[in-house]
Amino acid sequence: MTIDATYLLQLTLNGITLGLIYALIAVGLSLIFGVMEIINFAHGELLMLGAFAMAFALPVMGLLYWPALATAILAVMMVGWVIYELLLVRLRPDEFERSILVTLGLSIIIIHVMQYVFTATPRLVDTQYGFEGVEIGAIRITWTRVIGAAASLAAFGGLYAVLRHTQFGRAMRAIAQNREAALMVGIRPKVVARNAMVLAAGLCGLAGAAIAPIQLVTPYMGQFLIFKAFALVIIGGLGNIPGAIVAAVGLGLIENWIGGFFEIAWQEASVFVIMIVVLFVRPDGLFKRGGMRIG
């Protein structure tokens, strides 16, 4: 099989942009696990809500991308706060199994409520950019992909600054690394957990809003992405944020390369094949596990 260099570069650029959006979901999961020591099975539905918020905000705002993006992020952050205050605040770190049941049940409820209200018909989301893009010779990438990737990079830079240089972020890292010691110096775990949940929801809202103009928006779209995100967190090392980002970008590349040359079934299976191999070779993931590491 002859491989065209231009076609391969096109697949690579598409893979990087998609991988950065995947990374937003995986990093949110890592934040929640690092601080609360639970797996949030409703995390994919936060992405779906972000995509729907983007879909409804765009027509109201004259298809203007940035105001709709900000609206979607804020809306999902509010949903994250409500979920924490109503449900997750009642969970203790040692109630891992209970957290799975609670968040899985919440996931199913959100999916079916959204399907009942908005139907299962896929929605095509348009923005002010339409299908316009950047062209370099024969290579073309749409503005929505470029902006989604740039917004993801900006979010990671902001997250790094928050976790490294603010009291807000240092408290999260302290709880993740040594909960008992953090309690002894007066850090309140419930406040920190709430902040982590809202921050993770914001990242998911950004991911959903960024992916809405790229893929069809449906009530089930979060389910298709959340299991990939779980695999990415495992591959990168539980609680390791840079590891999750690297794994996500790697997955985006692999999916696009496989999808460009082989059948779609292999594209969807690739992340789980990689996860199984990693678990056998390095049970703690490719990078160091735990402590909500940021570098």
**What DSSP string describes the chain?**
----HHHHHHHHHHHHHHHHHHHHHHHHHHHHHHHH----TTHHHHHHHHHHHHHHHHHHTTT-HHHHHHHHHHHHHHHHHHHHHHTGGG--TT-HHHHHHHHHHHHHHHHHHHHHHH-S--B----TTTT-EEEETTEEEEHHHHHHHHHHHHHHHHHHHHHHHSHHHHHHHHHHH-HHHHHHTT--HHHHHHHHHHHHHHHHHHHHHHHTTTS-B-TTHHHHHHHHHHHHHHHH-TTBHHHHHHHHHHHHHHHHHHHHHS-HHHHHHHHHHHHHHHHHH-TT-SS--STTB--
Res 202: pLDDT: 95
Domain contains 100: yes
Domain contains 146: yes
CA distances from 45 to 30, 40, 69, 204, 217 (A): 16, 10, 17, 9, 12
Domain contains 166: yes
Res 1: pLDDT: 47
Residue 105 main-chain phi, psi, to 5 deg = -60, -40
Domain contains 61: yes
User: Domain span at residue 192?
Assistant: 21-218
Domain contains 186: yes
Domain contains 293: no
Domain contains 227: no
The total domain count for the chain is 1
List the chain pLDDT tens, one digit each, 295 residues: 456 777 888 888 888 888 898 899 888 888 888 888 888 889 999 999 999 999 999 999 988 999 999 999 999 999 999 999 998 888 776 677 788 889 999 999 999 999 999 988 899 898 888 778 777 777 788 888 889 889 999 999 998 898 888 888 888 888 877 777 777 777 887 888 898 999 999 999 999 999 999 888 999 988 878 888 888 888 887 767 888 888 888 888 888 888 777 777 777 777 778 778 877 888 777 776 555 555 5
Res 212: pLDDT: 92
Domain contains 248: no
Res 93: pLDDT: 67
Do 103 and 39 contact (CB within 8 A), yes or no? yes
pTM: 0.87
User: What's the chain's length in residues?
Assistant: 295
